[in-house]
Amino acid sequence: MQKLGPPIVLIKINGARAKREASFYVQLSCHPHIVRTYGFIDSDSSASIMLVQEYAPGGDLSNLL
């Protein structure tokens, strides 16, 4: 059996909380060991927020541990 990739976890949170968390990620961007978040896009046409983050090559943290 072929493994298709890591599992994806989705959680549903309200819009105000999502915006607070996205703003927090932007504030953490100055930390050298955290992927930089440049900003977020709040879509009026859908109930979603998209984070704009730097590309981090080399896989995820679980591969390094």
54: pLDDT strictly greater than 80:
yes
| Whole-structure pTM value | 0.60
Q: 41 and 18 in contact (C-beta within 8 Å)?
A: no
The tens digit of pLDDT for each residue in 9-49 reads 566 677 788 888 888 988 988 888 888 888 888 877 767 78
What letter represents residue 45's amino acid?
A: S
The band of 5, judged by pLDDT with boundaries at 50, 70 and 90, is low
Task: Indicate whether 57 pLDDT > 70.
Answer: yes
26 SS3 class: helix
